[in-house]
A and B are shown apart, each in its own frame.
Chain A
């Protein structure tokens, strides 16, 4: 039983991570619902396994972003004070919050993700309208530039509304720690909409920060014994393999069909989480 179960964990993680990787999303959002709904794994164990795979995908994917100078590491470390503080809050809450609330919150996050998938991510600012960077005061030297291959030149950008961005990042860290996901759902609006960063920069920088945010809660989950090697090992290994596969398929499959498939899966999983919540609730009455 044990080996077929770890093979199942491995296969499911490869699938989830490949699917997520195709749309540049972390697999965590699929892993926890699948493990709890179909694997009947206890919620905290599923979260512990997922958070390790979130770190793996973040660290494993960071290299190319850094080499292409898309990651703003100065901005990342500033925002990480907010995401890790959020993670700290989340991991402390995780021990207190009843599991049924986690199911509810997870269903909510799944629906929000589905909505975000439907509303396409667009570049919040036209790439050239953003060149006033050098004339503005920038005490932390966060403004930067990245080489855009499509238009074939360096694009300058500035960082807007840092305070508001940090507040949203705190929330992202909290959700990440509570649910064991990378919580791109909150990082995307924070960086694209609030701080008005170019989409490539915000994807790369958010990927870079996810690892530290997840590690902040993973350390605690590990010490609490929620990270069980027999579960977390196959899940992390499968996620790494799946991410590699997903990045390759991205080039082949037409994006719009994939997006709809993705939305469908998110909605079904969200509904399932709600149903389970009610099941749990009814049984406990």
Chain B
């Protein structure tokens, strides 16, 4: 029971700080784009665009990171059945990226 509790706290922390960082990056990018809109800020290469994109990528990676953390914790607790379950979730996500990515 205590182990589940600890995992809950760990995941709560990860998701909270992860969300804050990603939101902060997106928000900063958004504000910079508004402030600097007179200059070349609309150019996709500007810092504002890059910061906001980093925030978006952080958000996409955050749930995957959460599953990875669960996988590692289950593995350490020798709960191999659930480690396998977490690993399959990661595998399905990766498979989607491999199958779904645009043909180059």
Q: Do A and B come together as binding partners?
A: yes
Within 8 A of B (CB), among A129-180: 140
Shortest C-beta distance, A5 to chain B (Å), equals: 11
A73→B81 contact, CB < 8 A = no
A215→B56 contact, CB < 8 A = no
A103: chain B residues within 8 A (beta carbon): none
Chain B residues with a Cβ closer than 8 Å to the other chain, count: 53
B100→A224 contact, CB < 8 A = yes
Other-chain contact of B12, A62, A84, A222, A232 (Cβ < 8 Å): A62
Q: How far is the CA of A222 from the CA of B49 in the complex (A)?
A: 15
- Chain B residue at minimum C-beta to C-beta distance from A51: B60
Other-chain contact of B100, A2, A55, A92, A229 (Cβ < 8 Å): A92
Other-chain contact of B9, A66, A77, A88 (Cβ < 8 Å): A66
B34: chain A residues within 8 A (beta carbon): 3, 6-7
A215: chain B residues within 8 A (beta carbon): 60-64, 93
A-B contact number at CB 8 A: 166
Q: How far is the CA of A225 from the CA of B44 in the complex (A)?
A: 14
Answer whether residue A277 sits at the interface, using C-beta atoms and an 8 A cutoff. no
**Chain A contact residues: over half helix, strand or loop, or mixed?**
helix
B59: chain A residues within 8 A (beta carbon): 52, 55-56, 59, 218, 236
Answer whether residue A120 sits at the interface, using C-beta atoms and an 8 A cutoff. no
Within 8 A of A (CB), among B1-38: 4-5, 7-9, 11-13, 15-16, 18-19, 22-23, 26-27, 29-30, 33-34, 37
Within 8 A of B (CB), among A63-103: 63, 66-67, 69, 71, 73-74, 77-78, 80-81, 84-85, 87-88, 91-92, 95
A236→B26 contact, CB < 8 A = yes
B102: chain A residues within 8 A (beta carbon): 223-225
B40: chain A residues within 8 A (beta carbon): none
Shortest C-beta distance, A96 to chain B (Å), equals: 11
Shortest C-beta distance, A50 to chain B (Å), equals: 12
Q: How far is the CA of A69 from the CA of B9 in the complex (A)?
A: 9
Q: How far is the CA of A267 from the CA of B99 in the complex (A)?
A: 36
Given the interface contacts A55-B62, A73-B11, A236-B59, does A223 sit within 8 Å of B23 by beta carbon? no
Other-chain contact of B29, A67, A95, A233 (Cβ < 8 Å): A233
- Chain B residue at minimum C-beta to C-beta distance from A76: B70
- A46-58 contact mask (Cβ, 8 Å, vs B): 1 or 0: 0000001001101
Other-chain contact of B82, A62, A74, A224, A229 (Cβ < 8 Å): A74
Q: List 10 A-B contacts (CB under 8 A).
A: A6-B30, A56-B59, A59-B22, A66-B8, A74-B4, A88-B95, A229-B52, A236-B55, A236-B56, A237-B30
